[in-house]
Amino acid sequence: MEISSSLNLHNNLKCSVCDNYLNIPPVLTSEDGKVNKCGRCNLKGPYLTNRNSLYESIGSKLNFPCINEQCKERLSWFEVERHEKSCPHRKIPCPFWACRDKDIQMNALNDISHFQTEHPGIMCNDKLTIDLNGIKRHNSFMKVLTVDSLPYLIIVHAVGTGERIWIGVFNFDTTRKDYQIKLYSGKQLRKCIIYKEPVTLYDENEQCLYCLQNLCSIETHKYSKNYSETQKEKFKFYTKVDVLCTKNVLLSEDMHFEISIVPPEVQVPNGTA
Ligand SMILES: [Zn+2]
Ligand SMILES: [Zn+2]
Ligand SMILES: [Zn+2]
Ligand SMILES: [Zn+2]
């Protein structure tokens, strides 16, 4: 069944909090049935506990328009969440602190110029190369890597005095890619360590440098300091580099990082996020 904006029924299928269709689970309903909340608003008030499984089972048979008006896609219940993270018309808040307070929205796939003009120095092409001292100097930082004119957000977070480094790479469209982290010593060129992990589709509520740093208190950010129960999982999208172990393997203090995008090694079946 198609849900279209001309259908009168559609207002009853909207979330009372964000006014989008109730098409991302869990759908929660107040005791009196007047307030309905979608999965996008999971972390926002009001606090509801009744899961509306009857509605969810009907909703899962419907097709919905995309949240972005310019987009002509019709989406099944199961496609909505992934599509919203990768829709070519999607606007996201710029992930950099300087822009957060000003609520600057951008289309990451098409507005790379925003990064270039507002955040000079974060852009790199094809691959990012940086040495351990460079990482220690910045401690926690983001870079935008472009490969074949597609942007990738790289988040690097060094813990303590840099004995542990977390690196994550995120994209804004659904092409499956892996990222490769190559660690090598400037002197011992024969030795290197390589990590390969799938690139994760960027979700501004889950991937946030300032959440990693424990500085962020945005309500919708799953790993912000407001939510102590999620802190344990906040690094699950990141690769951990243990600096001491790596130095022992490389037999050198001189450690270089090369982060690049490579074809995917494992084919993940369609439809999984
Ligand atoms: Zn909502
Ligand atoms: Zn769309
Ligand atoms: Zn910005
Ligand atoms: Zn955050």
3 state DSSP class of 239: strand
* Cβ–Cβ under 8 Å, residues 62 and 238: no
Beta bridge partners of 124: 145
Q: Are residues 188 and 245 in the same domain?
A: yes
Across 147-154, average pLDDT: 95
Q: Give per-residue pLDDT as tens, 226-260.
A: 999 999 999 999 999 999 999 999 988 889 999 99
Ligand number with the minimum distance to the CA of 119: 3
- pLDDT at 94 (0 to 100): 96
Across 17-45, average pLDDT: 95
Asked if the model's pLDDT at residue 96 lies above 50, the reply is yes
Ligand number with the minimum distance to the CA of 97: 3
Ligand number with the minimum distance to the CA of 89: 2
Q: Distance from the CA of 226 to the center of ligand 1, in angstroms?
A: 20
Residue 64 lies in a domain: yes
Diameter over CA atoms, the chain: 70
Q: Distance from the CA of 38 to the center of ligand 1, in angstroms?
A: 4
DSSP characters over 16-70:
TTT-SBS-SSPPEE-TTS--EE-GGGTTSSS----B-HHHHHHHTT-EEE-SSTT
Q: Are residues 187 and 202 in the same domain?
A: yes
The mean pLDDT value of the chain amounts to: 91
- pLDDT at 273 (0 to 100): 46
Q: Distance from the CA of 43 to the center of ligand 1, in angstroms?
A: 10
Residue 155 lies in a domain: yes
Q: Distance from the CA of 91 to the center of ligand 4, in angstroms?
A: 17
- Which band of pLDDT confidence, cut at 50, 70 and 90, is reported for residue 65? very high
Asked if the model's pLDDT at residue 268 lies above 90, the reply is no
Residue 2 lies in a domain: no
The secondary structure of residue 269, as a DSSP letter, is P
Residue ranges making up the domain that contains 198: 92-262
Q: Distance from the CA of 44 to the center of ligand 1, in angstroms?
A: 9
Q: Are residues 26 and 104 in the same domain?
A: no
Query: Looking at residue 122, which CATH number applies to its domain?
Result: 2.60.210.10
- Is the preceding omega at residue 95 within 30 degrees of 0, hence cis? no
Residue 272 lies in a domain: no
Count of residues for the chain? 273
Asked if the model's pLDDT at residue 8 lies above 70, the reply is no
Q: Distance from the CA of 33 to the center of ligand 4, in angstroms?
A: 32
Percent of the chain with pLDDT strictly greater than 70 = 93
Ligand number with the minimum distance to the CA of 103: 3
Q: Give per-residue pLDDT as tens, 129-146.
A: 999 999 999 999 999 999
Q: Distance from the CA of 37 to the center of ligand 3, in angstroms?
A: 30
Residue 38 lies in a domain: yes
Q: Is the backbone of residue 45 left (phi > 0), alpha (psi -120 to 50) or beta?
A: beta
Q: Distance from the CA of 80 to the center of ligand 1, in angstroms?
A: 13
- pLDDT at 162 (0 to 100): 84
Q: Are residues 176 and 252 in the same domain?
A: yes
Q: Which of 195, 196, 162 is nearest to 177 (CA)?
A: 196
Q: Give per-residue pLDDT as tens, 168-226.
A: 999 999 999 999 999 999 876 678 999 999 999 999 999 999 999 999 999 999 999 99
- Which band of pLDDT confidence, cut at 50, 70 and 90, is reported for residue 161? confident
Q: Which of 195, 132, 128, 177 is nearest to 158 (CA)?
A: 132
Q: Distance from the CA of 167 to the center of ligand 2, in angstroms?
A: 29
Query: Looking at residue 40, which CATH number applies to its domain?
Result: 3.30.40.10
Ligand number with the minimum distance to the CA of 102: 3
Q: Distance from the CA of 152 to the center of ligand 3, in angstroms?
A: 15
Tell me the CA end-to-end span of the chain in Å, nearest whole number: 24
* Residues near ion ligand 3 (Cβ under 5 Å): 94, 96, 99, 118
What is the pTM (predicted TM-score) of this model? Answer: 0.90
Give me the number of domains the chain comprises. Answer: 2
Q: Are residues 109 and 234 in the same domain?
A: yes
